[in-house]
């Protein structure tokens, strides 16, 4: 799931999931972050700080994606502007979330993150390109946006509860 969400942010090679997992597990063992005891994974005492550092690198990406998907899902079937204008609108959503206190990391405003999120949404068919007169516009797929939001909630449970308390769009509890 994370691989799909972050495919534009990080370079992944296809068909290497198992090999990547084994390599990541081995790296975590070598760094004394995880202890493998028979079929159990046990976090070491030093793991907390290291996991907090690693999560601090990923969280701005995921929170930005969540805010953008939430705002686009809230717009219903409205035809959206082209990617460039939509990127600026999405930055405004994120800025608003920072001002309201729902977000606190200014890295979320990165235009690279916003553009990559929009590209990801197009690649997942959550946004479809349509030709509106002489320009290309985007049409949201509410169902796909909601499914992406639900997937993001797995990784952002404390963030999403804080955002949803800020009178933003709440996400249904079942996948569509």
Q: In this predicted structure, what is the pLDDT of residue 173?
A: 41
**pLDDT string in tens for the chain (176-residue length):** 555 655 555 555 555 667 777 787 788 888 888 888 887 878 787 777 877 887 788 888 899 999 999 999 999 888 899 899 999 999 999 999 999 988 889 999 999 999 999 999 999 999 998 886 778 889 999 999 999 999 888 888 766 665 555 544 444 444 44
Query: What region, left, alpha or beta, does residue 125 occupy, with left being phi > 0 and alpha being psi -120 to 50 degrees?
Result: left
- Rounded to whole angstroms, the Cα distance separating 80 from 85 reads 9
Residue 149 forms beta bridges with which residues?
none
Q: In this predicted structure, what is the pLDDT of residue 122?
A: 93
Q: In this predicted structure, what is the pLDDT of residue 5?
A: 59
Q: In this predicted structure, what is the pLDDT of residue 97?
A: 92
Domains, in order of start, for the chain = 17-46 (no CATH), 59-160 (1.10.10)
Helix, strand, coil shares of the chain as percentages rounded to 5?
Answer: 60, 10, 30
Q: In this predicted structure, what is the pLDDT of residue 9?
A: 54
């Amino acid at each position: 799931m994370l691989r799909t969400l972050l495919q534009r942010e990080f370079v992944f090679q296809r068909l290497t999931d198992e090999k990547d997992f084994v390599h990541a597990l081995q790296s975590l063992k070598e760094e004394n972050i995880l202890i493998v005891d028979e079929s159990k994974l046990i976090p070491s005492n030093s793991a907390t700080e290291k996991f907090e550092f690693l999560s601090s690198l990923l969280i701005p990406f995921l929170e930005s994606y969540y805010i953008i998907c939430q705002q686009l899902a809230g717009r219903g079937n409205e035809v959206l502007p082209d990617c460039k204008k939509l990127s600026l609108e999405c930055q405004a959503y994120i800025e608003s979330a920072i001002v309201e206190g729902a977000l606190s990391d200014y890295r979320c405003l990165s235009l690279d993150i916003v553009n990559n999120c929009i590209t990801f949404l197009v690649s997942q068919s959550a946004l479809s390109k349509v030709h509106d007169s002489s320009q290309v516009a985007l049409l949201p797929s509410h169902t796909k946006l909601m499914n992406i939001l639900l997937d993001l909630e797995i990784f952002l449970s404390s963030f999403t509860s804080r955002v949803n308390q800020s009178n933003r769009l709440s996400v249904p509890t079942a996948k569509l």
